[in-house]
């Protein structure tokens, strides 16, 4: 198979993009860990630029992974199967809720 197989179909490209999100996100977390070991913060313009690159990858991972929940999780409520749309919606609600709480804490604890 030619090395360019993943550029031939949109579906293949999106699949590779989804798997690739792991790399920038891993580097971002390792940078966070490295920053903790330093006396003063290493989070400057370079980190901001790198984070701007990472954010779309993070959002793409969140979007694809939480959408998958609809086909993985099967629940029954009052003997009726919960529709996958409800499960996916609850995953996205959890994501938004957690983001609001964490965002609030990240700002609140700065004082």
Which DSSP helix (H) or strand (E) runs through 80?
A: strand 80-81
Nearer to other proteins, 45 or 85 (CB): 45
Q: Which of 7, 8, 13, 29 binds other proteins (CB under 8 A)?
A: 29
Per CB under 8 A, 28 contacts other proteins: yes
Nearer to other proteins, 45 or 77 (CB): 45
Structure tokens at 64: 């694809």
3-state secondary structure of 109: coil
Per CB under 8 A, 14 contacts other proteins: no
Per CB under 8 A, 10 contacts other proteins: no
Distance CA 60, CA 70 (A): 17
């Amino acid at each position: 198979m030619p090395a360019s197989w993943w550029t031939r179909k949109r579906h293949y490209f999106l699949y590779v993009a989804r798997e690739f999100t792991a790399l920038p996100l891993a580097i971002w977390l390792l940078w966070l860990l490295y920053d903790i070991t330093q006396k003063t913060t290493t989070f400057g313009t370079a980190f901001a630029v790198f984070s701007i690159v990472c954010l779309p990858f993070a959002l793409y991972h969140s979007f694809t992974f939480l959408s998958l929940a609809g086909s993985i999780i099967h629940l029954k409520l009052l003997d009726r199967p919960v529709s996958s749309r409800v499960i996916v919606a609850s995953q996205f609600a959890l994501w938004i809720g957690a983001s609001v709480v964490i965002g609030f804490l990240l700002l609140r604890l700065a004082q």
